[in-house]
Structure 1
Amino acid sequence: MAQAVQASIGDSEFDRDTAVTLSQPGVYDAHLSAGWTIISAINGGYLLALIGRALADALAHPDPFTVSAHYLSASQAGPAIIRTETIRTGRTLSTGQASLIQHDENGAEVERIRVLATYGDLDQLSEEVRTSATPPVIPAYERCLSTSDGPVPDLGGSSEILERLDIRLDPATVGWVVGAPSGKGEMRGWFSLADGRPADPLSLLLTVDALPPTAFELGLKGWTPTVELTTHIRCRPAPGPLRVAITTRNLAGGFLEEDAEVWDSEDRLVAQSRQLAKASR
């Protein structure tokens, strides 16, 4: 399976690159690391995790339950400000909103992302589960393919994020690598952070947006920018690599949806998401 744990929660590259500093009530300073760049923009899941960390500090409850983000403009590596607002605090749930702000070359503020989120305490949830969902069927970790198994396709930009992720893709979903996409709009694989940091609710916000886009298996090769992404965190993941399955059923009008499921080593559905993305050729 995946490499033995090296980094720990709170002491990893992911934690350092999603760190936020309270500068005044409800306002946090952050630095967007170029290490999470794919093609020409910083990965949306990484940005969601960074904003999620600020909200975890600002709200009365520790864990993201549902996080909905609208991506307004492409974020760039460098300084950023996250402004948070508590909307409601209840006994079991807190709801807040946040905006990630950067400055353009003229010093004017540019809002990159706006988030509405509800937080709670995952450790207080009932253990009862009634579900018809089943874990994705993925070949064994050792039989799936990593970037070291062959040349990475030239996507026309940076792929620095790949150095920070340990992704092993189901061979049935990598036809796009050799110019023979399946046309099924599916992407499946094993996922963990490359430095061995264990998964937690915050890193799940990255996980749902970390695999290559399903658009590649539809024969599209261009950037697929996220318009909106909603993530549900269902429980705290058990140790071990995660299994991620993403599907697209409808590409129309230049937009497609991606539905993601994340399963842990104990066969529990730990996160779900849906995003709307713009397709480009």
Structure 2
Amino acid sequence: MAHATARATLGDSEFDRDTAVAARPGEPGTYDIDLSPGWTIAAAVNGGYLLAVVARALRDALPHDDPFTITAHYLTASRPGPAVIRTETVRAGRTLSSGQASLCQTDEQGREVERMRVIAAYGDLGALPDDVRTTAPAPSMPEYADCVGPEDAPEGGAPLPGSSALLDRIALRLDPATAGWAVGAPSGRGDMRGWFGLADGRDHDALSLLLAVDALPPTAFDLGLQGWVPTLELTVHLRARPAPGPLRIALTTRNLAGGLLEEDAEVWDTADRLVAQSRQLARAPRASAAP
């Protein structure tokens, strides 16, 4: 894999800098952050980046480092700029701790608005037993070099959504079999597969897995729908610390009804391990068909 000319280390990456939270003096469990415009799609801050920000605050507040399961409800769209995260430790045990958090911003009228609410259980992924029994197959897709990225966009088309600052910060290559929507030929199956990494070459950890599950184009595009697909709820299960190298991600939607769709994700590392799973509920785009 040669998608980055230099490799950032943990703590040295733009992702680490942009998810860093600052404990507020005199207010235990409260953290300030300036949400970076670098992780936006159009004007909205990416939901995976937001989840990583709140998860980092909970990591600081709880006695364990790794989220095992984390669920977010997105109440209103977040915007770049100042935000406050208020955490609460619900239970702190020897091997597992639980907490909740809210991310809030101030609106144009000076009122505090809650953007998202999160509940999570934390532990130590490195201390989990080695016994693995899974019937889930790794996604079948071409090698990294044989998949397509933004530079492969046909004239007048784009294999990734619109003008997105997020695309400058990730290394994303899609399986051509799930990129037909970019040239007006969606498969209609509701599938999306691709290789994912951070553009500066930083290896993955638990926090970047939270970004990964929400970084591919939405499966709605493969269903022939274009437009914004806002997440209402996202739950992520983390199963292991990923091995170095790019991740393989498979997204699937099996049901779109009532203007809502689910999106199931599996994330596999270079050691062929299923390291994360997620499900999110999102609003379907209001546009009726791909161009």
Please provide the CA RMSD for this pair: 1.4
AA of the residue aligned to 1:38: I
Q: Distance in 2 between matches of 1:259 and 1:2?
A: 28
Indicate the residue corresponding to 2:19 in structure 1. 18
Q: Distance in 1 between matches of 2:79 and 2:243?
A: 33
Indicate the residue corresponding to 1:267 in structure 2. 272
Q: Distance in 2 between matches of 1:273 and 1:154?
A: 23
Query: Is 1:168–2:173 an aligned residue pair?
Result: yes
Partner SS for 1:70: strand
TM-score, normalised by the number of residues in structure 1: 0.97
Partner SS for 2:172: strand
Shift, 1:250, TM fit: 0.1
Shift, 1:150, TM fit: 1.5
| Contact 2:153 2:159 (8 Å CA) reproduced | no
Q: Distance in 1 between matches of 2:180 and 2:145?
A: 18
Indicate the residue corresponding to 1:132 in structure 2. 135
Shift, 1:154, TM fit: 9.7
| Contact 1:37 1:158 (8 Å CA) reproduced | no
Match of 2:108 among 105, 108, 120: 105
**Correspondence 1:249-260 to 2 at 5 A:** 249-260=254-265
AA of the residue aligned to 2:73: H
| Contact 1:198 1:239 (8 Å CA) reproduced | yes
Q: Which deviates more from structure 2 when the two are superposed, residues 54-63 or residues 4-13?
A: 4-13
Q: Distance in 2 between matches of 1:263 and 1:2?
A: 19
Match of 2:207 among 199, 202, 206: 202
Q: Distance in 2 between matches of 1:124 and 1:111?
A: 35
- Percentage identity across paired residues of the two chains: 68
Indicate the residue corresponding to 1:3 in structure 2. 3
> Residues 176, 157 of structure 1: CA spacing in aligned structure 2 closer, same or farther, 3 A cutoff?
closer
> Residues 207, 149 of structure 1: CA spacing in aligned structure 2 closer, same or farther, 3 A cutoff?
same
Q: Distance in 2 between matches of 1:156 and 1:162?
A: 9
| Contact 2:10 2:203 (8 Å CA) reproduced | yes
Structure 1 unmatched ranges of 5 or more: none
Query: Is 1:77–2:80 an aligned residue pair?
Result: yes
Shift, 1:38, TM fit: 0.6
TM-score, normalised by the number of residues in structure 2: 0.94
Q: Which deviates more from structure 2 when the two are superposed, residues 270-279 or residues 3-12?
A: 3-12
Q: Distance in 1 between matches of 2:251 and 2:54?
A: 23
Match of 2:246 among 241, 248, 258: 241
Q: Distance in 2 between matches of 1:189 and 1:218?
A: 17
Indicate the residue corresponding to 2:46 in structure 1. 43
Q: Distance in 2 between matches of 1:101 and 1:177?
A: 35
Shift, 1:158, TM fit: 3.6
| Contact 1:263 1:269 (8 Å CA) reproduced | yes
AA of the residue aligned to 2:258: G
Match of 2:230 among 220, 225, 241: 225
Indicate the residue corresponding to 2:148 in structure 1. 145
Q: Distance in 1 between matches of 2:139 and 2:204?
A: 19
| Contact 1:187 1:246 (8 Å CA) reproduced | yes
Indicate the residue corresponding to 2:58 in structure 1. 55
| Contact 1:46 1:205 (8 Å CA) reproduced | yes
Deviations 1:210-257 (A, max 9, x none): 000000000110100000000001000000110000000000000000
Q: How many residues align?
A: 281
Partner SS for 1:202: helix
